[in-house]
Amino acid sequence: MNYQFQFQPYQRPFKTPLKTAHGIWNIREGIILNLTNKQGNIGWGEIAPLSWFGSETLEDAIAFCQKLPSIISTETIFTISDSLPACQFGFESALIELNSNPLVDLSKLQYSGLLPTGEIVLNTWKTLFQQGYQTLKWKIGVDEITTEINIFKQLVKIVIETLSSPQKIRLRLDANGGLTFEQAEYWLETCDLINANQDLIEIEFLEQPLSISQLDLMLELCDRYSTSLALDESVANLQQLNSCYQQGWLDIFVIKPAIFGSPRKLKNFCQKNKIDTVFSSVFETDIGQNSALKIASELLLYNRAVGFGINHWFIS
């Protein structure tokens, strides 16, 4: 099958720049593309690279699109190199939109809301909870650990004072690989204590405490603490997911479909191995988000909230 192909780069500034252990992020850049079939139907796709996470760069993606002819085949799409995972996602999801039933039911998904870094979290959690979020994520490894643990304990205290059973908040902590082993131990001891002693706030997991090169140490942390751990940066694409799975990771895997690579291959892997997944955004536009959420709702096994909160305060 042949399709007419068009693409257009975009830039969207964050209202408030996003702070993570990787640094400050001001502008989300990507590419919107479309494929038109012989009947004139159009399928939209998005390429939203995240090179600091290990995907291709935006420049790589633009260069790839520029080299393609204006008429491309299904075969071209299914043979995009594994070194261009965000492109694999963008083109394949446009194909999926053209060729499959668009009525995937997204209404059963629960969403996780992203909290801002720093002390302001002591107010924001409540706003998000009142908007209906029961799962929240807070970035750590951004400030001094003593400062962060202190804010964290205040947050837990405030939540416990405010909620009453059966109300409950699940909190995810995302270190973006920014902790040392000793700092991760300190966080996990703190989380284990909280989880053992009350039911109003559950620390659902600690996400990517250490760098990609330290999988052995993260496996050790899984053995030593009862709070769950999730890999994110370590499993940014199919090759990495395969490798971590082979090395024995049995806890949670965060999957960012937009940079992971071929949705078809992702589906095969998840259906074969029944892994415990959290699907998550890379701040793509609605086009990429819709494709990613369809994948999530097909593949989600343990009903964990998806990391696609509506971040009104981030993107203008």
Ligand X SMILES: O=C(O)CCC(=O)c1ccccc1C(=O)O
Q: Which of residues 249-278 bind ligand X (CB under 6 A)?
A: none
Best CA proximity match to 8, nearest among 90, 74, 113: 90
What's the order of all strands across the beta sheet hosting 112-114? 112-114, 135-139, 169-174, 201-207, 228-231, 252-255, 276-279
Report the nearest approach of ligand X to the CB of residue 204 (Å).
Answer: 11
Q: Which of residues 171-190 bind ligand X (CB under 6 A)?
A: 174, 176
**Number of other CB atoms surrounding residue 67 within 10 Å:** 7
Report the nearest approach of ligand X to the CB of residue 112 (Å).
Answer: 5
Burial 69-90 (b: 16+ CB within 10 A, else e): eeebeeeebeebeeebbbbbbb
- Give 3-state DSSP helix, strand, coil % of the chain, rounded to 5: 40, 25, 35
- Contacts with Mg ion by CB under 5 A: the residue count is 3
Q: Which of residues 213-242 bind Mg ion (CB under 5 A)?
A: 232
Report the nearest approach of Mg ion to the CB of residue 205 (Å).
Answer: 11
Rounded Cα–Cα distance for residues 17 and 188 (Å): 28
Determine whether the annotation assigns residue 276 to a binding site. no
Q: Residues 118-137: x/- map of binding to ligand X (CB under 6 A)?
A: -------------------x
Catalytic option among 15, 19, 168, 256: 256
Query: Helix H segments across 100-170?
Result: 121-130, 145-162
Which member of 232, 260, 261, 269 binds ligand X (CB under 6 A)?
232
The answer to whether residue 272 is catalytic is no
Q: Residues 35-54: x/- map of binding to ligand X (CB under 6 A)?
A: ---------------x----
- Check residue 204 for interaction with Mg ion (CB under 5 A): no
Report the nearest approach of ligand X to the CB of residue 283 (Å).
Answer: 5
Strand intervals (E) in 154-284: 169-174, 201-207, 228-231, 252-255, 276-279
Sign of CA dihedral 59, 62, 64, 67: negative
Which member of 89, 260, 283, 314 binds ligand X (CB under 6 A)?
283
Determine whether the annotation assigns residue 232 to a binding site. yes
Rounded Cα–Cα distance for residues 258 and 281 (Å): 7
Q: 72 CB contacts (<8 Å, ≥6 apart)?
A: 2, 3, 5, 35
Rounded Cα–Cα distance for residues 298 and 145 (Å): 38
Determine whether the annotation assigns residue 46 to a binding site. no
Q: Residues 51-90: x/- map of binding to ligand X (CB under 6 A)?
A: ----------------------------------------
Residue 137: which of Mg ion, ligand X, none does it interact with, CB under 5 to 8 A by kind? ligand X
Rounded Cα–Cα distance for residues 153 and 167 (Å): 19
Strand, coil or helix: 300:
coil
Select 148 or 174, whichever has its Cβ closest to ligand X: 174
Select 172 or 294, whichever has its Cβ closest to Mg ion: 172
The answer to whether residue 137 is catalytic is no
- The catalytic residue positions are 139, 256
Detail the residues annotated as belonging to a binding site for Mg(2+): 174, 207, 232
Residues that bind Mg ion (CB under 5 A): 174, 207, 232
Residues that bind ligand X (CB under 6 A): 50, 112, 114, 137, 174, 176, 232, 280-283, 307
